[in-house]
Structure 1
Amino acid sequence: MNKSFNLLFFIKKSKIKANGTAPIYLRFTIDGVPKESSSKRNIQPIKWDNKLQKVKTERLY
């Protein structure tokens, strides 16, 4: 019995609020069936790193 699972974090730019923030969503796929859910968190799109699926951080060195 093979099971597959994948998890992806992304921001939903189509739902940008008046203050310029967008909600962070997660998409999980189980056995090829995708589902989306909100993380109930918001972020400015400029601070989101799509490749790493996380908030961009500033290096202090």
Structure 2
Amino acid sequence: MVEYEYRMVTFGREESRSAVRQALTEHAEYGHWELWRVSLYLGGARKAVLRRRIIRVQRTA
């Protein structure tokens, strides 16, 4: 079964679209995160949920 770990990243309304895109790109490139969900709130804040697979090494006998 595939397991994931999750990370929530919140951006305020004062941050530009390009700054948000750059931050998410850096998480994806260097941390191996993938964008799972983005929520845009009424005040303009954005919440992004990132996920990445947990690779468990199974012991062999």
Q: Taking structure 1 as the reference length, what is the TM-score of the superposition?
A: 0.30
Q: Name the structure, 1 or 2, with higher relative contact order (CA <8 Å, separation 6+).
A: 2
Greater radius of gyration (CA): 2
